[in-house]
Chain A
Amino acid sequence: MAVSNVSSVTTPVLSVRYLSIAAGGQVVQRGVSVDVHPGELVAVTGPSGSGKTTFLRTVVGLQDAVDGVILLRDRPAAAWGWASYRRRVLLVSQQPALFDATVEENLRRPFTYQASKDSTFPRDRAVAWLDELGVGADRMDQDASTLSVGQKQRVSLIRALLLTPDVLCLDEPTSALDVDSVALVQKVISNEAESRGLAALIVTHSVEQAERWCHRKIMLPGTKMAVDK
């Protein structure tokens, strides 16, 4: 059972109730519950094999839960329509997935989906974030495949932020970054949390990130399988 200190000041934007998740046909966690409030950064910690990545994938609906309920603003995920839901509860994987195209084309792509048809691509903000996160505003026209892994990770993050989701599910968002870049990423996400109430579930192995940057943490206990190893 995950530990969660639920704040009761605001209505949660995302409620995960009694979620059981499976990986490779095995149930790895049972009964995980967490409420995430607007502006709140929640660290998701736990030993290797405890299902942290699976937890995020299940929360965004890329795979089915074995049991449990996920509510976005008190509505079940399926009631939003899966594409609309995922646009609002957005996963950024640990391995950056970019197209063989320029940085700008990569950033623009999600705005071509039906679920984002009412949004326009905020190019100025994209340029500003590229600059702020140390990738460089001049890289908009660069072929994304020529970027370093760290740069790709930041471009992936910017692509997600541009869609202004309600909740970001970040899987080890700074795993490929140096200390300075980590600070820049944390600053941008914290700013979004404070300015517009972005909430985040952040999988991390870093105790420092979990305790100093995030507002609170939930811990996924190790499974028997993981303990045996």
Chain B
Amino acid sequence: MNPVQHISTIQLAIATLLIVFCGVISMALQLRLEKQLAIGAVRTILQLMIVGYVLKFVFKMESPYIVLLLTLVMVGFATQAAVGRSKLAYPGIRVQSFVTLTASGLLTSFVVTSAVVQVHPWYRAQYLIPLMGMILGNSLTGISIALEQLLTDLTDRANIIEMELAHGASAWEAARAPLHDAVRRGMIPTINGMMVVGIVSLPGMMTGQILAGSDPIEAVKYQIVVMFMLSAATALGCMTITLLAYRKLFNNRQQLERGLIAKR
């Protein structure tokens, strides 16, 4: 294995020339993107630097409380992103999404760190935080697609669902098709990702490992673990959120509470 190739400040400055090049093109073609490019570049540097120092601090502290705090902050942002995309919502959607992302993320990370990578303790920041980051990024997409599909279906097909209830279907029987469709839709991007990985694109994590000097085969093994982990977390997340939404939107009188679903 090659040693990790360190990047000096001068080397980083050279990389910055690439973004300057973009700016020059923008000016030459009068695209008027220079300002956004500049803001984007500065934000990239600042955000990543801050994350870098935060991670360095957290890794050094090795405190389960700090790891938990950071995890919850990450889940909070992921929840906002997942719920913010949906055009329809219901009371409690945020709390349910937060619980779903926390549970599916921690459970899957636990399996990977404790059983696959075999880190002790399983919540070691160096492993848990990057894994949670990848999981949250993936499952928030799955969850927001599943929620969107479910809420749209329950709104558009309310007359069919209520017809089924009116003919003696239980809430579960009437809701089964929309619930299935929601989980299925939420899972599709992840499954598609597994279909094309390595052919159409090289995953960022694997590329990063290779650039940092890892053996490609080792990087591939890690990537396989990551892909399966992301699938499991997304499946778990989509199933959990649709079940929680079902429990919220159908009551024990076997009614669809259509009034709870509102446009935003």
Residues of A within 8 A of B (CB): 60-64, 78, 82-84, 86-87, 90-93, 95, 97, 99, 109-110, 112-116, 156, 159-160, 163
Q: From B172, which residue of chain A is reached at the shortest CB distance?
A: A114
Chain A residues with Cβ below 8 Å from B167 are 86-87, 90, 109-110, 113, 159-160, 163
Residue picked from B164, B168, B169, most chain A C-beta under 10 Å = B168
Contact present for A99 and B160 (CB under 8 Å): yes
Assess the B170–A60 pair: CB atoms within 8 A.
Answer: no
CA distance A99 to B173 in the complex (A): 14
With A90-B166, A113-B164, A115-B168 known, 17 other A-B pairs at CB within 8 A are A60-B166, A61-B254, A62-B162, A64-B255, A83-B168, A83-B170, A83-B254, A84-B168, A91-B166, A93-B159, A95-B159, A110-B167, A110-B169, A113-B170, A115-B169, A116-B168, A159-B167
Interface residues of B in 41-56 (CB under 8 A from A): none
Q: Which residues of B contact A (CB under 8 A)?
A: 159-160, 162-170, 173, 253-256
Contact partner of B168 (CB less than 8 A), chosen from A86, A93, A99, is: A86
Closest chain A residue, CB of each to CB of B252:
A82
A61 touches B255 (CB 8 A): yes
- Sorted from nearest, which 4 A-B pairs have the closest CB atoms? A87-B168, A115-B168, A97-B163, A82-B254
Measured between alpha carbons, how far is A62 from B170 in the docked complex, in Å?
A: 12
A86 to B166, CA, bound (A): 6
- Other-chain residue from A92, A95, A113 in contact with B169 (beta carbon distance below 8 A): A113
Task: Enumerate chain B residues within 8 angstroms of A61, measured Cβ to Cβ.
Answer: 253-255
Write the nearest CB–CB distance from A165 to chain B, whole angstroms: 9
Q: Are A114 and B255 in contact (CB under 8 A)?
A: no
Give the complex CA separation of A90 and B165 in angstroms. Answer: 9
A63–B165 Cα distance when bound, in Å, is 11
Q: Pick from B160, B162, B173, B255: contact of A113, CB below 8 A.
A: B173
* A224 to B217 CA separation, bound complex (whole angstroms): 77
Can you spell out 16 A-B residue pairs with CB atoms less than 8 angstroms apart? Answer: A61-B255, A62-B165, A62-B255, A64-B253, A83-B165, A83-B168, A83-B170, A84-B168, A87-B167, A87-B168, A90-B167, A110-B164, A112-B173, A113-B167, A113-B168, A113-B169
Q: How far is the CB of B68 from chain A (nearest CB, A)?
A: 42
Please tell me which one of the listed residues B160, B162, B169, B256 contacts residue A83 in the complex, with CB atoms under 8 A apart.
B169
Is the CB–CB distance between A93 and B170 below 8 Å?
no
Quote the shortest CB–CB distance from B10 to chain A (angstroms).
Answer: 64
- A residues less than 8 Å from B255 (CB atoms): 61-64
- Minimum CB–CB distance from B142 to chain A (whole Å) comes to 26
Contact of B166 among A62, A84, A99 (CB under 8 A): A62
- Nearest residue, chain A, Cβ from B160: A97
